[in-house]
Amino acid sequence: MQTDLCKKLGIDFPIFAFTHCRDVVAAVTNAGGIGVLGAVGFRPEQLAIELDWIDEHVGDRPYGVDVIIPNKYQGQDEKDEEKLRTMISAAIPQGHRDFADELLDAHGVPRLNNEGKTTDRLSMTEATSAPLVDIALQHDNVKLIANALGTPPPEIIRQIQDSGRMVGALCGSPRHAKMHVDASLDFIIAQGGEGGGHTGEIGSMVLWPEVVDVAGDIPVIAAGGIGSGRQMYAALAMGTQGVWCGSLWLTVAEAATTPIEKELLLAANSNETIRSASVTGKPVRMLKNAWTEAWDAGNNPQSLDAPMQMMAVGNAMKRMRRFPEQSRELMFVPVGQIVGRLNHVMNARDVVMQLVEEYLETSDRMNGEHMSVIGIDGRYDEDIGRPQVIPAGIISADGHICEPPNCYVDFIEPKYREDAPRIVEQEDGTEAFVIPGMKKPIALGFIDGAGFGVRERFDRAKKIRFSDIRKAAYDGPARVPFMDQDGLAAEIIYASVGMGLCMHKDPLYKNACMQAYNQWLQSMCADAPTRIFGLAQTAVLSVDSAIADFRKAKEMNMVGMMMPGDPIHEDYDHPDYDALWECATDLDLPVCFHILTGRAGSLHVKPRGHAMNSFLGIIRAVQDIVGLMVLGGVFERHPNLKLVVAESDAGWIPHYMHRMDHAAKIHAEDGIIKGLSQLPSEYVKNNVWATFQDDRTAFESLHMIDYKHLLWASDFPHTDSTWPESLALIADQTAKLNDDQLQAILRDNTATLFNLPAGGVAYLTMNRPERRNALSPQMIVEMANAWRDFRGDDNMRVAILTGTGDKAFCAGADLGLLIPLFSRAREPDDEFDEALIKDRSLMQIALLRDFELYKPVVAAVNGFALAGGTEILQATDFRISAPTAEFGLTEVSRGIVPGGGSLVRLARQIPYCKAMEILLLGERMPAEEALRIGLINEIVAAENLQSRAAEVAGRIAENGPLAVAACKEAVIRTSGLALEQAFPIETEISARIMRTEATSKPKLKVALDDDHVATVELTNGDYNFFDMEMLMGLAEAFETLDDTAACRAILLCASGKAFCAGADFQGGKNGANPAGLGNLDKGSGLSGHLYEQAVRLFATKKPIVAAIHGAAIGGGLGLALVADLRVGCPQTRMAANFTQLGIHPGFGLSFTLPRIVGQQSAYDMFYTGRRVTGEEAFAIGLLDQFVDQAEVRPVAQLKAAQIAGAAPQAVMSVRETLRGNFAEAVRNATDRELSEQNWLLRTQDAAEGVRAVSERRAGKFTGN
């Protein structure tokens, strides 16, 4: 239903409501249509008051104004209103005035007291209408101005279009439409003879398609005889882009129509109207009465031309308005032939919704099928027609489109339309994109060049026209099969022509083009919303305008901002831009700099030497951006800002970081650049992400780059794209990557950075915005299937439930479809109706009633949640609302009950009295009240609703899935039970979870590569604190690897900041004790103690190389000494800090440490508890190799591979000889250590030591 004209105007429905009442304008506009105020009859000062009132009541929604300037009228060359009025007044025959007055005398209408003293009122002229246009253009929300009679004067057209508004006019024939086209109007209203007011003779069904054909690309709005959704459907089916209704609003509750006029309208039939010029001098369709019959009688005066007739009968019109009761048989009531449908009074909003609902019902009947209305994973897939999850697979972080011919022309501001970028035929017969103000056109062949061989591509470029461009380059649904062929689940979309526009020298023109592109891109992404995600563009006219662009991009569901390489004012490191970077951070929108969007690295700059040299230098521009932002302190001031450099490869980054650090160390005072608190490379690691496609060096440099900041991309459909061979290229270049690295670079990094709905979170979107997401049979069936799919998919841990649009979350059941179906008043129309009739339980499943679902559901309430909308809300677990949302169970007002769970759930979730208030009154409740009584969790700004829901869902998904589900299960199963009944259920569920291996996040990972090296990685957070569970898992892994013939050596390493920072002090059951310590006073020895697990580690048979990239403290040092060889770096820190805790060393360190570093160094480390640097550790033998931090794991991996390359039995034999009874010696040492720890743990010094460490301060020991 939403046409291109709707999108341009920013309205929900293509319903244009012409009315002389400001209340109706506001009501229709707020309901999603657009109200148009008829300004004829207003003085300029009166119109200003009316428009001010409308502005106050519609917020930022658009509306229109209608004026009347006929093509031809008496005295039209005179522009002075008073002179024209005097001239026309003098020309009116007195007989016409007398006839009108005598006609009223004959019907008993009293004369006015001041008759003969009033001044004739002039209207329907340029002199009277031009000031009204001036007033209208002073109001920003007035987005269109229409002329009711003929083509407006050229100067008026220019005035309106130059202001950025649309101008249009009514027509009653194709000839009039052609005049509008020749005048370059922005829209045409084709009014058939059935319409009310000024109208022609041709009927609507004949006129509409004729005008559409004449208008070409100019949108046509249908008018005349439209009073229902069925007529609206017919109009749009004929190619119009909206419906212009006037008569429909005359009897609404808000209308300023007098009571007698309303009475006459409600009583009239469709055959009781007539076209008559007896009031305005132009044919007007109006109610037939004694007035029209008298003027049409042959022996009476004939109507004068406009505007003379209106002035001639002006006094009579005043008398009828003054004495309406006496004027019943004469009253001027303009209305169309749909008057027969005006049978009762309704609110204007309800009329809008009735039109929409009937339109959709007609659409269903005509099409015989429905679109899919439930989208899973946040989006809606129109092609598949069933619930869709963003598929597993690769997410490309840099794809492009080839902007189609209408991209800029259709969406740009009217004053730039003639100069908009467009497809132009070249002298050689090819077509190219031409941008006025830029020297060279943009060749189409290189925008759409993916998959062609070099020779084929060059040959194609010599003859290419836009018709040769593959539709996948600019159409969402057509792109999907190309993505599937290449293994792509989703793509981030950058502009193509827009890259060149970034360098345009006219900032205002550039801004207009980019705003147009953003609107077009939004519609393209909406056509394949599970698969493509757009980046908006901004011209950065100023910091304030760029901030507005970012906020608008967020509202448009864009996932980031494509930036021009060179700003207009200052450079991006200037403090003036801090507000922009703060905005980008707050909105969580990455700022993206693509190659070829700035002066540096431009292909249009003549290179030195061979032309190919320019290609090699194109990454220079984004390198400059990185340097600018790092060295200029932008990331120091905005540590959470996300910067993406696109299509620049990534293999250069390690050397670039090294070079920056080298410059800082050599040339900056104290080795730190002024304004920065750390080395430049640290900012690159934290704030910069890079996309690349065919860059083997990037994959081979992972030991020097944080792989979580690398984003693979396909670059489709550009010539540098890897399509359709991406999977083969990836397989070849990533052979040495582990699963985590692959998953991160090919999917998760992009999904996380751009906040895409992927990674354990399913999005269920109710997608019937035209019906306020009301539950139809199709939606119910698909929603039930979606919940079943979600429950059965182990990869999905949390669901987000929301609705499409910003009007409604869900307005409840579509009773117009459901009641006739269930009562058999209508037969099933499709498979959804059949399914629902066959299985009524689908309704309950859709509402999560009588359906066991223990995975949590987050509700993002984007608008109305009424009736069934509030019912399903109660089945969710975390509820986030936009400020405009409303809640309520309105069923009782319709004589039914809310039987979807509310009669049971509601009083359990909120106070009883509030529950009964909601149930019994059936009234709506604003979001603030819902928050106050606990029906929802929080209210956030509408533009932040989805991102906040994603944040909450993501945090839940990070937790142990079985534990999360168990929490929900326990709460549901024990709800309403007595404590003695509930506690056993809680105990049963808790015990079940404690027996599983998935109680918490994985604390270590094990992988075996082709070089016979097993990698055992500690993954317990940044510091890898250990507890019993972690050490048991580690011991079991080592023992399993001992029994695995393919494993010949073990690499022990860790993720996070530290190798291992020791025992988990928060996990001990005795409060002050490290995890697992202090339980030996019962004579339990090592049984069940974590030191028994330590002994198991020392008993392993395979050689171990440890990569110590960070701190190894306390028990973490003991763990490091389990290894045979250790590789460290300057960031390595090692400490036996037990005496600073007030306890004895443990983990066998009293045996292992002196054995490695000697007695004297051990004394030093044990007695002082001080930290030893990486350099010192290497010097005293704690480390066997000392390298840069980025080299620690690769060097350790290489050492393990060298060991694995030797004869395995010989290696194990040598190890056994060298270590002897090592494990037994450790056991004896830990016996002594535990005995000493046992009594020391009960001292005041031990309690103080643990407290001091937890509080990050030095201990204050007393010797007690």
- C-alpha–C-alpha distance, residues 341 and 351, integer Å: 12
Angle formed by the axes of helices 154-162 and 126-137, to 10°?
A: 0
User: Poorest-confidence range of 12-16, 167-171, 1079-1083?
Assistant: 1079-1083
- 597 and 649 Cβ atoms separated by less than 8 Å: no
- 497 and 504 Cβ atoms separated by less than 8 Å: no
pLDDT attached to residue 764:
86
How far is the CA of 36 from the CAs of 136, 166, 192, 416, in angstroms? Answer: 11, 13, 19, 25
Q: Is the pLDDT of residue 386 over 50?
A: no
The predicted-structure confidence for 551-572, as pLDDT tens digits, reads as follows 999 989 899 999 999 999 999 9
Q: Is 891 helix (H, G, I), strand (E, B) or coil?
A: helix
pLDDT attached to residue 1236:
87
pLDDT attached to residue 946:
81
How far does Cα 222 stand from its chain's mean position? Answer: 34
Residue 759 pLDDT level (bands cut at 50, 70, 90): low
Q: Which residues contact 13 (CB under 8 A, 6 or more apart)?
A: 1, 2, 6, 31, 32, 33, 352, 355, 356, 770
The predicted-structure confidence for 193-246, as pLDDT tens digits, reads as follows 999 988 888 999 999 999 999 999 999 999 999 999 889 989 998 999 999 999
State the first-to-last Cα distance of the chain, in angstroms, to the nearest integer.
81
Residue 121 pLDDT level (bands cut at 50, 70, 90): low
pLDDT attached to residue 1231:
86
Mean pLDDT over 1062-1085 rounds to 42
Q: Is the pLDDT of residue 89 over 70?
A: yes
Mean pLDDT over 1049-1078 rounds to 66
- C-alpha–C-alpha distance, residues 433 and 421, integer Å: 7
- C-alpha–C-alpha distance, residues 608 and 1061, integer Å: 54
- 687 and 635 Cβ atoms separated by less than 8 Å: yes
Task: Kindly state the tokens that stand for 56.
Answer: 């106050």
How far is the CA of 416 from the CAs of 155, 183, 411, 511, 1083, in angstroms? Answer: 17, 16, 10, 11, 88
Residue 399 pLDDT level (bands cut at 50, 70, 90): very high
* Ranges in the chain annotated CATH 3.20.20.70: 4-73+124-249
* Ranges in the chain annotated CATH 3.90.226.10: 761-958, 1004-1189+1208-1254
Closest to 100 in 3D by CA, of 321, 310, 322: 310
Q: Is the pLDDT of residue 969 over 80?
A: yes
Q: Is the pLDDT of residue 604 over 80?
A: no
Rounded to whole angstroms, the maximal C-alpha distance in the chain is 133
Query: Going by CATH, does the domain composed of 1004-1189+1208-1254 fall within 3.90.226.10?
Result: yes
Q: Is 763 helix (H, G, I), strand (E, B) or coil?
A: strand
pLDDT attached to residue 15:
95
How would CATH label the architecture of 761-958?
Answer: Alpha-Beta Complex (3.90)
Mean pLDDT over 1065-1077 rounds to 37
- 34 and 18 Cβ atoms separated by less than 8 Å: no
- The residue whose two tokens read 């990534």 is 650
User: Poorest-confidence range of 371-380, 920-929, 1128-1137?
Assistant: 371-380
How would CATH label the architecture of 4-73+124-249?
Answer: Alpha-Beta Barrel (3.20)
Mean pLDDT over 486-499 rounds to 93
Q: Is the pLDDT of residue 1015 over 50?
A: yes
pLDDT, averaged across the chain = 87
- C-alpha–C-alpha distance, residues 853 and 964, integer Å: 12
How far does Cα 663 stand from its chain's mean position? Answer: 41
pTM of the model: 0.45
Mean pLDDT over 771-782 rounds to 90
- Percent of the chain scoring above 90 in pLDDT: 58
Check residues 1084 and 599 and name the one with the higher pLDDT.
Answer: 599
Q: Is the pLDDT of residue 1064 over 80?
A: no
pLDDT attached to residue 72:
65
Residue 708 pLDDT level (bands cut at 50, 70, 90): very high
User: Poorest-confidence range of 36-45, 599-608, 989-998, 1223-1232?
Assistant: 989-998
The predicted-structure confidence for 276-301, as pLDDT tens digits, reads as follows 999 988 899 999 999 999 998 877 88
pLDDT attached to residue 1145:
93
Q: Is the pLDDT of residue 851 over 50?
A: yes
Q: Is the pLDDT of residue 1065 over 70?
A: no
Task: Kindly state the tokens that stand for 45.
Answer: 């000062």
Residue 1239 pLDDT level (bands cut at 50, 70, 90): confident
Mean pLDDT over 957-984 rounds to 88
Query: Going by CATH, does the domain composed of 398-753 fall within 2.60.120.960?
Result: no
- Percent of the chain scoring above 70 in pLDDT: 92
Q: Is the pLDDT of residue 371 over 70?
A: no
Q: Which residues pair with 1004 in a beta bridge?
A: 1018
How far is the CA of 184 from the CAs of 161, 169, 401, 1108, in angstroms? Answer: 10, 11, 30, 73
Q: Is the pLDDT of residue 1113 over 60?
A: yes
Closest to 101 in 3D by CA, of 277, 291, 292, 286: 291
pLDDT attached to residue 1076:
34
Angle formed by the axes of helices 831-838 and 815-822, to 10°?
A: 60
Tell me phi and psi for residue 518, to 5 degrees.
Answer: -60, -40
User: What is the sign, positive or negative, of the torsion defined by CA atoms of 506, 511, 512, 518?
Assistant: positive
Residue 366 pLDDT level (bands cut at 50, 70, 90): low
Burial (CB < 10 A; 0-12, 13-18, 19+), residue 1057, is middle
- C-alpha–C-alpha distance, residues 231 and 411, integer Å: 28
pLDDT attached to residue 602:
62
Residue 470 pLDDT level (bands cut at 50, 70, 90): very high
DSSP 990-1050: HHHHHTSS-SS---EEEEE-TTSEEEEEE-STTTT-B-HHHHHHHHHHHHHHHT-TT--EE
Locate the DSSP E strands across 805-948: 808-810, 857-861, 864-866, 878-881, 886-888, 925-926, 938-939
pLDDT attached to residue 85:
79
pLDDT attached to residue 1077:
39
- C-alpha–C-alpha distance, residues 1154 and 1118, integer Å: 12
Check residues 644 and 901 and name the one with the higher pLDDT.
Answer: 644
Q: Is the pLDDT of residue 364 over 60?
A: no
Alpha helices for 874-911 (secondary structure H): 902-909
* Ranges in the chain annotated CATH 3.20.20.140: 398-753
The predicted-structure confidence for 244-279, as pLDDT tens digits, reads as follows 999 999 999 999 898 999 999 999 999 999 999 999
